[in-house]
Amino acid sequence: MGKKHLLTSEIIASGSTFKAVFETLPRSIEKWTVFSAESAYNGLSILSRLAMAHGVRASFFANCFIGYTDNGTDIPFFHKSAIMPAYVEESLRRSYGNELFEAIPCCIGDGGRRFCYPEKHYRGILDVYSGMNLKEKKSRLRLEKILRETEGFLKECEKGI
């Protein structure tokens, strides 16, 4: 007898993973429960549509927030359509400062690049974040730390460590 309930963890941006999975999903699957630290509404809407089309009951649990992606990949913390608990936003603003919190283009980075090609991920961070001109002291200091740590990670990758 085939399995009936699929349980996964996924950071959802564009929903492309779901498109691929539903093509090969065993017909015996009746329920799919997805846990995520953060996800984009765009990908979640695709999950909903695909689940309905395939007769699968999908459930989603967000640990942190539901964001929005304007380009299909990046999920920024700050977006007019983001849904997050007030305490999460307050914590992020305390950590990053208001200006950097609102300027970060993506809160997680591309998963495939981050795990399979870390050098590309670090170079991407340096390319995007090095161009930021922030006025707020807390945001500037946090950005400097991010850039310094990213440069250190990139040097370790280049050494082959």
Residue range of the domain that includes 112: 85-161
Residues 79 and 103 in one domain: no
Q: Could you read off the pLDDT tens digit of each residue along the chain, which spans 161 residues?
A: 577 998 888 888 888 888 888 888 888 999 999 998 888 888 899 999 999 999 999 999 988 888 888 888 888 889 888 999 999 999 999 999 999 999 998 877 666 666 777 888 889 889 999 999 999 999 999 999 999 999 999 999 888 75
Residues 5 and 65 in one domain: yes
Residues 76 and 4 in one domain: yes
Give the C-alpha distances (Å, rounded to integers) separating 121 from 79, 81, 125.
Answer: 22, 26, 6
Euclidean distance between CA atoms 47 and 36, whole angstroms:
13
Residues 78 and 6 in one domain: yes
Tokens of 56: 């699968």
Task: Examine the fold and report which residue of 26, 50, 84 is the final residue of a domain before the chain moves on.
Answer: 84
Residues 80 and 2 in one domain: yes
Number of domains within the chain: 2
Q: Do 10 and 36 touch, CB atoms closer than 8 A? A: yes
AA letter at 150: T
